[in-house]
Structure 1
Amino acid sequence: MVLLESKQFLTELTRLFQKSWLPGSMFITLKKYDGWTKPIPQKGFVLGFEPLDNKCLLRATDGKKKISTMVSSKEVNKFQTAYSNLLRANMDGLKKRDKKSKNK
Structure 2
Amino acid sequence: MLIENNETFLSEMTKLFQTNQTKGGSLYITMKRLEPRDHKVKSGSKAKSESQSSSGQSENKCLIRVHNSKKKISTIVSAKDVNKFQLAYANLLKGNLIGLKKRDNKKKSPKSKATQ
TM-score (norm 1): 0.79
Relative to its length, the structure with more helix (as a share) is 2
Structure 2: stretches of 5+ with no match in the other structure:
42-51
- 1:1-104 pair list within 5 angstroms: 2-4=1-3, 5-22=5-22, 23-36=24-37, 52-102=58-108, 103-104=112-113
Relative to its length, the structure with more strand (as a share) is 1
- Partner Cα separation in structure 2 for residue 55 and residue 6 of structure 1: 13
- Partner Cα separation in structure 1 for residue 82 and residue 25 of structure 2: 29
CA-CA distance at 1:47 after TM superposition: 8.7
Q: Tell which has more relative contact order, 1 or 2 (C-alpha 8 A, sep 6+).
A: 1
Identity of aligned residues (%): 50
Work out whether residues 27 and 60 of structure 1, in 8 Å CA contact, stay in contact via their aligned partners in 2: yes
One-letter identity of the residue aligned with 2:29: I
CA-CA distance at 1:21 after TM superposition: 1.3
The list of structure 1 runs, each at least 4 consecutive aligned residues, that deviate by more than 2 angstroms after superposition, is: 46-51, 95-101
Q: Deviations over 1:34-75 (max 9, x none)?
A: 222xxxxxxxxx696976210000000011100000000001
- Please tell me the root mean square deviation across aligned C-alpha atoms, in Å: 2.1
Work out whether residues 59 and 68 of structure 1, in 8 Å CA contact, stay in contact via their aligned partners in 2: yes
Residue aligning to 1:43 = none
- Partner Cα separation in structure 1 for residue 16 and residue 36 of structure 2: 27
Give the number of equivalent residue pairs.
94
Residue aligning to 1:40 = none
